[in-house]
């Protein structure tokens, strides 16, 4: 049987998952592709580090050239993370005619087009299924199964760490920091978890989904985004009381000739299927003009769920190696002349701490009125020291209008702090 040699760049959470799946499911994999797969070299930073899977020490190297210049290696699997170093190694490997598999959303969202072009010029595959949604096959679904559709909406929970934190805060009453530590211990978080909790990781993934689903190249840094660091247990309690769950939602929706997109913590009504997606699970809802609504659900982070998606890519490439067939997941910047609208309009939840004095509520509602922000409901809680928590749910409005009203309200003497502002989804 022909043997395909693989080089791994990185052997952390995902790299070790790939190795274990390949060991555990060897027979099934080899009979499926009718070829042998062999991991020939593994790049790491520290060869002496304790690993949680048994690997012959001789496979490890700290010299990237041992992997990317090895003439026997046909597929390079980049699982290091980071942009510049990982990108440099991938480009060098492509120049050496190696096929590429990566789980690196930061790299694909920022340099994907350049790397894809290079891969095409060199006649090699670039695949990145694991970069969005961990084990969920969302890239393949969009690029292959749904390729006859015009996509109208892609919306989902696509970060395991933040969803784990929000679930633990809601269901176990856990503090933010404790839940984050647990997510890190379980291997869900990025090397720098700021990227998760500030919504950057989600913006990378949404930029990839927008390109794959709508053919529009968008910088992830141009996507309006907010993370979950300002969400308090009090917000979670208000959400529960009002019949919602708070989730970090990424969405891109076509409205006529324009595209709206955002990454924001949102109030989701309990009837929304995304409201019951918990812990490290992710879900992506796709609406295509032929298929209608489709919901993909599964583990969005972790060693073997992500390793499963990486191996799916490796197997697809292995099957076509030595043939002229190209199966790659295309990045397609077709620029169809969409108006890029940013976050569009939404209803919002606003939580503020207000001074407990006569006339305050009236002055705040008047300020909203001056900016034409119409209010759907108001909740005032009992006094806590000299401030009272005030919660407003607005009707649909532009975020800029709401922000102007809140700026005026915050500058007044009536409010000590705007605690949080979250989108409220209709259904
Ligand atoms: P990780 O646990 O931090 O592992 C990173 C690995 O890369 C380690 O083995 C490290 O070596 C090696 N490495 C990093 N920088 C290096 C350098 N400059 N030179 C040589 N080796 C280097 O990361 P991970 O969680 O597996 O994530 C890997 C990639 O997958 C990232 O792009 C991440 O965004 C993506 N991803 C992760 C998940 C997940 O659930 N964790 C899910 C989907 C996608 P040492 O072991 O010696 O430190
Ligand atoms: N840090 C990411 C997450 C890993 O928590 O979703 C999966 O991409």
The predicted-structure confidence for 361-420, as pLDDT tens digits, reads as follows 999 999 999 999 999 999 987 766 678 899 999 999 999 999 999 999 999 989 999 999
Q: Would you say the CB of residue 201 lies under 6 angstroms from ligand 2?
A: yes
Residue 310: which CATH number? 3.40.50.720
Cβ 166 vs Cβ 188: under 8 Å? no
Reply yes or no on whether the pLDDT at 32 is more than 80: yes
Q: Would you say the CB of residue 161 lies under 6 angstroms from ligand 2?
A: yes
Q: Is 199 helix (H, G, I), strand (E, B) or coil?
A: coil
Pocket test for ligand 1, best of 13, 112, 115, 303 (most atoms within 8 A of CB): 13
Q: How far is the CA of 194 from the centre of ligand 2 (A)?
A: 12
In a domain? residue 330: no
Spatial separation of the C-alpha atoms in residues 167 and 173, rounded to whole Å: 9
Annotated binding site: 9-16, 105, 190
Which ligand approaches the C-alpha of residue 67 most closely? 1
Q: How far is the CA of 316 from the centre of ligand 2 (A)?
A: 23
In a domain? residue 331: no
- Return the active site residues: 205
Spatial separation of the C-alpha atoms in residues 280 and 383, rounded to whole Å: 36
What was the pLDDT predicted at 402? 97
Residue 183: which CATH number? 3.30.360.10
Angle between helices 160-171 and 176-185 (to 10 degrees): 130
Determine the average pLDDT of the residues in 219-247.
95
Which ligand approaches the C-alpha of residue 129 most closely? 1
The predicted-structure confidence for 100-151, as pLDDT tens digits, reads as follows 999 999 999 999 999 999 999 999 999 999 999 999 999 999 999 999 999 9
DSSP letters, 158-212, are: --HHHHHHHHHHHHS---HHHHHHHHHHTT-S-SSTHHHHTTHHHHHHHHHHHHH
Alpha-carbon distances, residue 101 vs 159, 231, 418 (angstroms): 20, 36, 44
Question: Which residue's CA is the nearest one to ligand 2's atom 7?
Answer: 301
Q: Would you say the CB of residue 101 lies under 6 angstroms from ligand 1?
A: no
Pocket test for ligand 2, best of 167, 188, 204 (most atoms within 8 A of CB): 188
Q: Would you say the CB of residue 370 lies under 6 angstroms from ligand 1?
A: no
What was the pLDDT predicted at 418? 95
Strands, DSSP E only, in 110-257? Answer: 126-127, 151-157, 244-255
In a domain? residue 157: yes
% of residues, the chain, pLDDT over 70? 98
Q: Are residues 52 and 173 in the same domain?
A: no
Q: What is the mean pLDDT of the chain?
A: 95
Q: Are residues 94 and 195 in the same domain?
A: no
Q: Are residues 120 and 145 in the same domain?
A: no
What was the pLDDT predicted at 167? 98
Cβ 260 vs Cβ 154: under 8 Å? no
Range of the domain at 401: 346-424
The predicted-structure confidence for 150-163, as pLDDT tens digits, reads as follows 999 999 999 999 99
Q: Would you say the CB of residue 189 lies under 6 angstroms from ligand 2?
A: yes
Q: Are residues 293 and 179 in the same domain?
A: yes
End-to-end CA distance of the chain: 53
Q: How far is the CA of 232 from the centre of ligand 2 (A)?
A: 22
What was the pLDDT predicted at 405? 97
Q: Would you say the CB of residue 14 lies under 6 angstroms from ligand 1?
A: yes
Q: How far is the CA of 396 from the centre of ligand 2 (A)?
A: 31
Q: Are residues 37 and 99 in the same domain?
A: yes
Residue 353: which CATH number? 3.30.70.260
Q: How many domains does the chain have?
A: 3
Q: Are residues 153 and 273 in the same domain?
A: yes
């Amino acid at each position: 049987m022909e043997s395909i040699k693989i080089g791994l760049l990185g052997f952390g959470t995902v790299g070790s998952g790939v190795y274990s799946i390949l060991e555990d499911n060897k027979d099934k994999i080899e009979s499926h592709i009718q070829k042998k797969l062999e991991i020939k070299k593994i790049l790491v930073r520290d060869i002496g580090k304790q690993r949680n899977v048994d690997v012959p020490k001789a496979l490890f190297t700290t010299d990237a050239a041992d992997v990317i210049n090895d003439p026997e290696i046909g597929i390079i699997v980049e699982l290091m993370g980071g942009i510049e170093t990982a990108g440099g190694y991938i480009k060098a490997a492509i120049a050496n005619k190696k096929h590429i598999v990566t789980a690196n959303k930061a790299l694909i969202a920022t340099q994907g087009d350049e790397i894809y072009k290079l891969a095409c010029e060199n006649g090699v595959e670039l695949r990145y299924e694991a970069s969005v949604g961990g084990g969920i096959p969302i890239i393949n679904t969009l690029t292959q199964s749904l390729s006859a559709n015009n996509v109208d909406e892609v919306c989902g929970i696509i970060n395991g760490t933040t969803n784990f934190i929000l679930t633990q805060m809601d269901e176990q009453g856990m503090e933010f920091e404790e839940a984050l530590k647990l997510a890190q211990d379980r291997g869900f978080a990025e090397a720098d978890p700021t990227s998760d909790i500030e919504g950057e990781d989600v913006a990378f993934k949404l930029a990839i989904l927008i390109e794959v689903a709508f053919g529009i190249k968008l910088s992830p840094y141009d996507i309006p985004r907010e993370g979950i660091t300002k969400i308090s247990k009090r917000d979670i309690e208000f959400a529960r009381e009002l019949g919602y769950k708070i989730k970090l939602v990424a969405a891109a929706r076509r409205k006529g000739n324009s595209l709206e997109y955002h990454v924001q913590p949102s109030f989701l009504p309990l009837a929304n299927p995304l409201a019951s997606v918990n812990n490290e699970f992710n879900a992506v809802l796709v609406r295509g003009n032929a298929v209608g609504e489709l919901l993909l659900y599964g583990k969005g982070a972790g060693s073997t769920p992500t390793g499963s998606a990486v191996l799916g890519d490796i197997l697809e490439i292995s099957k076509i190696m030595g043939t002229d067939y190209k199966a790659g997941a295309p990045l397609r910047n077709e620029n169809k002349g969409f108006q890029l609208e940013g976050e569009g309009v939404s209803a919002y939840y606003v939580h503020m701490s207000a001074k407990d004095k006569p006339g305050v509520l009236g002055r705040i509602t008047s300020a909203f009125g001056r900016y034409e922000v119409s209010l759907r409901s108001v909740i005032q809680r009992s006094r806590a020291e000299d401030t009272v928590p005030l919660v407003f749910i607005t009707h649909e409005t532009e975020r800029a209008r709401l922000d102007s009203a809140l700026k005026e309200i915050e500058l007044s003497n009536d409010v000590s702090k705007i605690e949080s502002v979250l989108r409220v989804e209709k259904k």
